[in-house]
Amino acid sequence: MSGGYDDRDGKIWMDGTLVDWRDAKVHILTHALHYASSVFEGERCYNGTIFRGRDHSERLKRSASLIDFEIPYTLDQIDAAKAAVLEANGLTDAYVRAVAWRGAGPDMGVASARNPVRMAVAAWEWGAYYGDAKTRGARLDMSKWKRPSPETIPCEAKAAGLYMICTMSKHAAEAKGCSDALMLDYRGYVAEATGANVFFVKDGEVHTPLPDCFLNGLTRQTVLTMLAEKGVAVHERHILPEEMEGFQQCWLTGTAAEVTPVGRIGDYSFEVGALALDIAENYESLVRR
């Protein structure tokens, strides 16, 4: 599939109906465009099956609730919409994007309780998020922006507005030749990359930030289960940035990132080591069962 994301062949599910890709449009006064009243999910389909698809649907509904609206579709209907999009586009290996938002309606201010809630699902072929980093190790910048306090944002929601500082951080990182950026939290602890969780290895044990102010990713949860099954000790805790000097390996997890080893974060270097490669390989086998 080529061309801009607004100019492609195919079908998108929108408000209960499959429409031509180029016709999937919203009005310029859509509330979400002005006030970020939108939530979304990024999912991957492998060999015709969306990995943890139901969990993604549940999180989409929960995210909407956390930012004060209700998606007018059941979990079964959301799952069916994703299946319909994949079938209509002839895709068996794809990235799936489900998004729900407050649309245009009688309200055009901060409050928008009377505006309709809309939903869409699109899918497209998408390769490795970080290119060849799975073998060479991704290079990350250190972001100047921090993940906010949970007293200021609904940090458990996968909400569009929470990604503004992620976009700025990734743009700054790419300008330096990096793949992504690592963000600290409001207290100065290591948090996450712009769209992925982070894991470190020291002396055969794994250390990963406690997700108390950022999203506890589904891929992160899957990898924690894999590590437990392997008998690897895992420490979920607050990690100071200077501790990275003592870590030997590092990897990122996320639906788009999958499991991607990291070779460098700012001034800190890591080997693309055996455990990182093993988890990446095992994850690939798990999602393609």
- State how far the Cα of 100 lies from the Cα of 59, in Å rounded to an integer: 12
Q: How many residues does the chain have?
A: 289
Least Cα distance to 224 among 234, 238, 216 occurs for 234
Classified as helix, coil or strand, 156 is coil
Catalytic residues: 158
Classified as helix, coil or strand, 274 is helix
Bridge partners (DSSP) listed for residue 121: 13, 98
Is the CA virtual torsion 21, 27, 33, 35 positive or negative? negative
For residues 8 and 22, the answer to whether their CB atoms sit within 8 Å is yes
- State how far the Cα of 182 lies from the Cα of 155, in Å rounded to an integer: 17
For residues 284 and 258, the answer to whether their CB atoms sit within 8 Å is yes
Decide: residue 262, CB within 10 A, 0-12 exposed, 13-18 middle, 19+ buried: buried
Alpha helices per DSSP H over the chain? 31-35, 53-66, 75-88, 133-136, 164-175, 218-230, 274-287
